Structure 1
Amino acid sequence: MTTLVTGATGNTGRHVVAELVRRGEQVRALTRNPAAAEQRLPAAAEVVAGTHTAPESLDAALDGVERLHITVTAGLTEAGPELVRRAVGAGVRRITVVWGGGVGPVEKAVEDSGVEWTRLEPQEFMSNALTWTESIRTEGVVREPYDFPSALVHEADIGAVAAAALLDEGHAGRAYNLTGPEVLTVGERVAILARATGRDLRFVQITHEQAVERLLATGVSRADAEYVVGWYAASDAASRTVVDTVEQVLGRPSRTFAQWTAQYADRF
């Protein structure tokens, strides 16, 4: 059987591809830039050009596919239901979807698709720490507006749970809240990074508006910037509560932030 993974080089997609390949699955990896993807993905993966935001162009990519992994992104809100419709029409019989933070049109289309589905609801990604690389490299500083607690989850664990849901029985119709094994504040994460890098790192708090302006400078809309920073100011209970879903699905503990930093310390 063949699984199509959309967003195959993204934060979670590449881990889904790697885990499926590790488990011997035939994987078709959808990406806008195949040349770059081939350097980042396992050689056994079949890399194809395309984007899930243009489902009308994906008939060839969906040919012979029985399983589909979708990561919901901002650009997929309108195109996602059509992608699901075309996938089911092409013969897809099992879908996993990494939600966009809520049950929107894409998530609802998957749920109503008539095929087996599993929704993954990860909390904050550990890889968000990669946004600190430049300030850590140049100044040894992390600047954030709030020292908020978060039950961070490793992206590789998301990928492994997705692969299990795609390949194994018993996951259909389930919505999986995914966290890591501990709740960490920003300051605690910085301390772990300091130990991993052997550097003296500092956490410096900035204002809410400074954080918004920083996002605006990257091209984010003000509405989205306010939403993101506002979430950090008042995150919901699920984002700071550890659950054992990863361990229940995979039969092993979820990865720690210390394990994540050991993998990525050279970037800082």
Structure 2
Amino acid sequence: MDILIAGATGTLGRQVVRRALDEGHQVRCLVRNPRKATFLKEWGANLVKGDLCKPETLPRTLEGIDAVIDAATARPTDSLTVKEVDWEGKVNLIQATKAADVNRYVFFSILNAENYPDVPMMNIKYCTEQFLAEADLDYTILKPCGFMQGLIPQYAVPILDNQAVWVTGESTPIAYMDTLDLAKFAVRALEVPETAKRSFPLAGSRAWTAEEIINLCENLSGKNAKISRLPMGLLQFLSRAMRFFEWTRNASDRLIFANVLVSGKPFDAEMSEVYDLFGLNPNEMTTVETYLQEYFSRIMKKLKEINYEKEKSKKKKKTPFKSKSKS
């Protein structure tokens, strides 16, 4: 199958590319800057230059395509806003897909997006779900709870660097999944006709609070975390203030998302029927414990090697004084 993947250079998108290639599909990656995506070409994917926010660039990217997997999203460092990429850009891509007579479309949303109309990212995801359903495509909507990859910069790295780990209020339990496993569902959806015109939650084996993740990281690293609690009121103030400046609006939208993370309502879902339909084995999915254990094992081993090399270098620099011979 010839697949166009949007968001191919992102944390999730690159894993979708890798999985699709491993499954024998022909993969075309929609990228704004091909020079920054050469690693995808080295993997065996084809690169096509296009921009979700420039609809005139999209028709040619869909020529000869059988299906689209949409893993694109605005990044915190982007000059473009969440609305421009995750709403206007997605509308452009969906319309271009329909115009090109490409009927199969897999879209990554967020679990429970419909419950947070006041949170820009969640509201936009839900609106995109509705727009996609009304476009009369054979869509499949996948709704992850959270990426395990995000646990590293948020918890693991600060603990290793003796930096503060920031938490806010009552943390929401989240059933994280590895992006490698999320990619399995995306590619598998194209192979299972029963997944068309349906939405599915994607949740890990259990939901974790921030405190539980911190405790796990402490046990695996042998270090104590420096926890700093940020008042929710301060986050809300910063979010409102940042909206006055064009270059901080994307960050402002992300700050509002913190309301979701302190709601206390678990981001979790029953997955037995989903696994059965997709024909995937839950025992083959990565758990948070395994993911973090592998990370800390690699890092601790690397740190020991670095310290060993430093000590070795110091010893080489030490030159003993030669004793003067007595006349």
Which sits farther off after the overlay, 202-211 or 43-52?
202-211
Is 1:243 equivalent to 2:243 in the alignment?
no
Is 1:138 equivalent to 2:161 in the alignment?
yes
2:10–2:72 CA contact under 8 A, matched in 1: no
Amino acid at match of 1:244: S
Identity %: 22
Cα separation, partners in 2 of 1:184 and 1:259, compared to 1, 3 Å: same
Output the CA distance in 1 between the equivalents of 2:72 and 2:128.
Answer: 7
Is 1:182 equivalent to 2:206 in the alignment?
yes
RMSD across aligned C-alpha pairs, in angstroms? 2.9
Is 1:29 equivalent to 2:20 in the alignment?
no
User: 1:18: how far off?
Assistant: 1.1
Which sits farther off after the overlay, 79-88 or 192-201?
192-201
Pair member with larger Rg: 2
Aligned to 2:225: 201
TM-score w.r.t. length of structure 1? 0.85
TM-score w.r.t. length of structure 2? 0.71
1:121–1:176 CA contact under 8 A, matched in 2: yes
Q: Which digits, 9 at most, give the CA deviation of each residue in 1:119-149, with x for residues without a partner?
A: 0111122222234265334325421113332
Choose the corresponding residue for 1:129, options 151, 156, 160.
151
Aligned to 1:111: 133
Which sits farther off after the overlay, 127-136 or 27-36?
127-136
Aligned to 2:185: 161
Output the CA distance in 2 between the equivalents of 1:130 and 1:209.
Answer: 26
Aligned to 2:258: 229
Output the CA distance in 1 between the equivalents of 2:165 and 2:274.
Answer: 29
Q: Which digits, 9 at most, give the CA deviation of each residue in 1:56-93, with x for residues without a partner?
A: 21222111111001136322312322321211222312
Choose the corresponding residue for 1:77, options 77, 81, 87.
87
The structure whose residues are more often helix, as a share, is 2
Report SS of the residue matched to 2:66. Answer: strand
Which sits farther off after the overlay, 225-234 or 258-267?
258-267
User: 1:55: how far off?
Assistant: 2.7
Amino acid at match of 1:229: A
Which sits farther off after the overlay, 212-221 or 105-114?
212-221
Which sits farther off after the overlay, 156-165 or 247-256?
247-256
The runs of 5 or more residues in structure 1 that have no matched partner are none
Amino acid at match of 1:110: L
Task: Give the paired residue count.
Answer: 267
